[in-house]
Structure 1
Amino acid sequence: MIRPAVASGASRPNIVMVMADDLEYGALSYFPAIDQQLVQQGASFERFFVSNSWCCPSRTTILRSQYVHSHGVLTNTAPEGGFDRFHTLGLEQSTIGTWMQQVGYRTALMGKFLNHYPGGTATQTYVPPGWHEWDVPVRNLYQEYGYRLNENGNLVDYGWGEQDYLSDVLAGKARDFINAGSEPFFLYLAPIAPHNPANPAVRNMDAFPWSQAPRTPSFNQADVSEEPEWLRSRPLISPEGIDEVDERYRRRLRAMLGVDDLVNSVITTLRDSGKLDNTYIFFTSDNGFHLGTHRLPQGKTTPFEEAIHVPLVVRGPGIEPGSKINEMTATVDLAPTFAALGGAAVPPFAEGRSLVPLLEGKHPSPWRRNVLVEFSRPANRSSAAQTPVPSYEALRTETHTYVRYVTGEIQLYDLTRDPYELHNLARFADPGLVLQLQERLSRMHSCSGAECLEADSAG
């Protein structure tokens, strides 16, 4: 196999990351460009997980390669989270944007940055360090129409015409950025879809007329008697509620067609400019989403697979088309991977692993055996109201999910026998297994910097 081109002088590769908002694992086959140009031409990571199944903490992990307990952006909203927390802590002074700039990359961030940017601590014209090109909504971003963009410090209002659709506007700006120079570039593209309200482009409003949310075994889960109180207290979803779930699912698919068009535009631009063969394209999501699973009509923030397991597909030089990578990986690994490909130094605070060896077809040992997921319930009770989950720490291993709530309640699932997490074994499991998982979780939850690389491979 040809090996990926790790950075060396003029041959340094371009890097594009497209990150959907709230896209669950398993949906990529619905989108022609993503499926044909990325999945079929790249490598799919089968076990890729988030560090937090909520937008702002997850995106901070991606920018900095730190778990939530290290970066301290706990929620989507101030004072304990959101852009204001990120900005006040000075975290923007060292991100993947600044790392790549320092080694000569042109950098761009287009689309959603962090929740509630620019918040109460910055102006609408504020551009954080690390980005040569900055095109980020500061108002009304989730509608995809009628929004305001901060374009490199200039505020531009967009209307409600078809030409104003945000994914299309981002596609045009990405095209201009790709074509603007000869030096290597790092492009972070963050479209809004399929986040609620999941507004599609007009051209896609009638797509998927008969689609239904997947009826997995966890859909509208019948027996929750062994689950924590927050889940036991939820009623079964009514027939009318299930109709709403299906309609939400259709809206999400329609909105994602705009992201599919964005991906197609990026690949076409790269091909036409002669840069495709020297560009890595990463496609992923900041967290998953519930669509009727475990009695949740919608939402995220839970430790269930539907919320923490997300897609990651990578196309680029030397990557075997249509290949699959089964090693456990996480969002904390993305920034070190971009740095390795571009020849950038990773700061000592980074807590993830470069995925380059996996892209090379290698199977490094030791490798990650533990993924840490952390969630803090916000003080603002209107935030995360879709899934009223107490604060927790969770460990996702190769065979189990173990969750420890602030309430003292425990969840434990044997994923080899119960992949849909229907049977909480906390009361029945071997005490030795529980103790081992407790110790592994505690070590991950307290790790810092390079210590996390030892903790994540511990058995």
Structure 2
Amino acid sequence: MVNSRPIFTCNLLWLLLFFHTKVIAANKPNIIVILTDDQDVVLNGMTPMQRTQKLLAAKGATFINAFTSSPICCPARASLLTGKYAHNHQTINNSMSGGCYGEQWKTHNEQRTFPLYLQQNGYNTFYAGKYLNQYHSIDVPPGYTDWHGLYGNSKYYNYTLNENGVSKLFGDLEQEYLTDVLRSRLEKFLSLQLPDNPFLAVVAPPAAHSPFTPAKRHESFFVNVTALRTPNFNVVSDELSKHWLVRMPPAPLTPDIIATIDSYYRQRWQTLLAVDELIESMINQLRRLNLYDNTYIVFTSDNGYHLGQFAMPFDKRQPYETDIRVPFIVTGPGIKSKHVVEHPISLIDLAPTILDWAGIGTPDDIDGESFATVVNSDSNAIDQVDTTSEMSDYEPSSTVESPKFERQLLIEYWGEGSTDTWNKLCPWNRRDRLNECTLDAGCHCQDSWNNTYGCVRHIAHDLDKIYCEFIDREGFVEAYDLFADPFQLINLGFDMLPSERSTYSLHLDKLKQCEGKSCQIF
């Protein structure tokens, strides 16, 4: 006679484990992350998103000192998903050779993302939109219950989605506009969610990335808007003020390049209107389903963007405030309305914060710090955000004395350029290994093989500085006191006291080698 007791006992244990997981999960909050692409905050990139300002910023917390860890898409997204600096996850630029959806990512880092940790703890998990630039795969990454990943870099029409392991090609019909398709996929996912089972949804629309294609219904908006003429707009740099790539000709920018900048600026705003509509639709649906009160919503971007600053036409990849600052808004349980937080954060902090919200322990190899207690407290906060200001998206309507805080964040980038990225239509040499040299930018190249640097972004209640070292033939150094010089016009790198420069250089070396908790001591 066969003894059925072991089989019965095994099945009972699995059943108990299943219901135990469901009971624990039922008490957890829902989490939604909206991740835009190349959206600046310094150049008023939040201004066109009036619905988002009303429904998120005015109902939650806005971090006014939020930074990317790497001002380029793939490394920044890898950092957001893993909570690690690029030197630890080893995705250092947008190329496959630079680790963007390379073997290291697929075999190691994809097993250590916050969506996977949440799925393992009872969450339904959803992803729709841009993943990593070199993702062209039928494989669904681990950690997702419902997957709609974009093949490759941002597009608005004529793209392919991997929809739960099935490739689907989209064309150029109005209803195939990518942001709208992502919105419909999110709406379907939300409609299937139940109050007793938590969910995570990550939505990554293409806006405001090139080719800056707005939905047809938004093409007539902002026709009289021009790029923000900041004090550093079209300012020509000398040999001691900026590293060599910034000083490339043409400088100053020609009228036709400035006209192109104005056009791109308008189009970037236009592309964000569909994201604004997505957010409004999402919040209305959450309320109809009685899910809103138990849902954290995070809105941010992978990096910022410059348009004409220091006579650089348009791109990211540089260590200036336009490129490294990102919008960052959080709403959810326990978060006060119209809360403006000065405490500095990095994209690497999102993963540990989400794990904190979900009641999941943070792995020791995560470099970031949870800001869950910061965003739920009155510390490091200004009273209110004024969402009607035309001068700034985050200007407080009233202020209180800011408490003391201090943090040093790492900004790192590895230049990308080879003989294959040379543009034969531009008057440069193939052996220079330049990259992103385009005719609409007057052949001013945005990247090169040695556009490599590390920076310490140092913010405290009484200081605001950045110190950068470039790994190039000049051994260039740039440093700025942003309290005195918010537009980074005066490079102090060669005029600092030797003691201050050596201290920052030492801290930078340690940050570039840090891992886990050792990244949090500065």
TM-score range with shorter-chain normalisation?
over 0.9
**Number of residue-to-residue matches in the alignment:** 443
The answer to whether 1:404 aligns with 2:417 is: no
Give the letter for the 1:330 counterpart: S
The answer to whether 1:377 aligns with 2:415 is: yes
Give me the whole-angstrom Cα distance separating, in 1, the residues matched to 2:274 and 2:321: 26
Aligned to 1:4: none
The answer to whether 1:144 aligns with 2:134 is: no
Q: CA deviation at 1:236?
A: 1.1
Q: CA deviation at 1:391?
A: 0.6
Q: CA deviation at 1:378?
A: 2.0
How do 1:35-434 residues align onto structure 2 when only pairs under 5 Å count?
A: 35-118=53-136, 124-138=137-151, 142-182=154-194, 183-226=197-240, 227-234=242-249, 235-363=251-379, 369-380=407-418, 382=421, 384-385=436-437, 386-388=445-447, 390-398=451-459, 399-407=464-472, 408-434=475-501
Aligned to 1:121: none
% identity of equivalent residues: 32
For the aligned residue pairs, the C-alpha RMSD in angstroms reads: 1.8
SS of the equivalent of 2:318 reads coil
TM-score (norm 2): 0.82
Higher relative contact order (CA 8 A, sep 6+): 1
Q: CA deviation at 1:32?
A: 1.9
4+ runs deviating over 6 angstroms: none
Asked whether the equivalents of residues 288 and 306 of structure 1 are also in contact (C-alpha less than 8 Å), the reply is yes
SS of the equivalent of 1:335 reads helix
Give me the whole-angstrom Cα distance separating, in 1, the residues matched to 2:209 and 2:162: 20
SS of the equivalent of 1:159 reads coil
Q: CA deviation at 1:87?
A: 3.5
TM-score (norm 1): 0.93
Q: 1:416 to 1:322 in 2, by over 3 A?
A: same
Q: CA deviation at 1:426?
A: 1.5
Deviations 1:177-207 (A, max 9, x none): 1121221111111000110001111100111
Deviations 1:314-350 (A, max 9, x none): 1112211111000111001000011000112222110
SS of the equivalent of 1:40 reads helix
Give me the whole-angstrom Cα distance separating, in 1, the residues matched to 2:346 and 2:447: 24
Give me the whole-angstrom Cα distance separating, in 1, the residues matched to 2:184 and 2:307: 32
Give me the whole-angstrom Cα distance separating, in 1, the residues matched to 2:436 and 2:371: 31
Higher Cα Rg, which structure: 2
Q: CA deviation at 1:88?
A: 4.6
Which residues of structure 2 form unaligned runs of 5+?
1-22, 381-402, 422-434, 438-444
Q: CA deviation at 1:11?
A: 3.0
SS of the equivalent of 2:411 reads strand
Q: CA deviation at 1:363?
A: 3.5
Asked whether the equivalents of residues 174 and 216 of structure 2 are also in contact (C-alpha less than 8 Å), the reply is yes
Q: 1:93 to 1:219 in 2, by over 3 A?
A: same
Which residues of structure 1 form unaligned runs of 5+?
1-6, 119-123
Asked whether the equivalents of residues 17 and 281 of structure 1 are also in contact (C-alpha less than 8 Å), the reply is yes
Of 487, 491, 503 in structure 2, the residue corresponding to residue 436 of structure 1 is 503
249-258 or 386-395: bigger deviation: 386-395
Deviations 1:131-171 (A, max 9, x none): 111001226x6331121211001122222111111111111
Asked whether the equivalents of residues 79 and 85 of structure 1 are also in contact (C-alpha less than 8 Å), the reply is no
Q: CA deviation at 1:295?
A: 1.1
SS of the equivalent of 2:78 reads helix
SS of the equivalent of 2:281 reads helix
SS of the equivalent of 2:125 reads strand
Give the letter for the 2:407 counterpart: R
Give the letter for the 1:428 counterpart: D
Asked whether the equivalents of residues 24 and 287 of structure 1 are also in contact (C-alpha less than 8 Å), the reply is yes
Deviations 1:42-74 (A, max 9, x none): 110000001100000000000101111111111
Give me the whole-angstrom Cα distance separating, in 1, the residues matched to 2:305 and 2:103: 24
Q: CA deviation at 1:224?
A: 3.2
SS of the equivalent of 1:82 reads coil
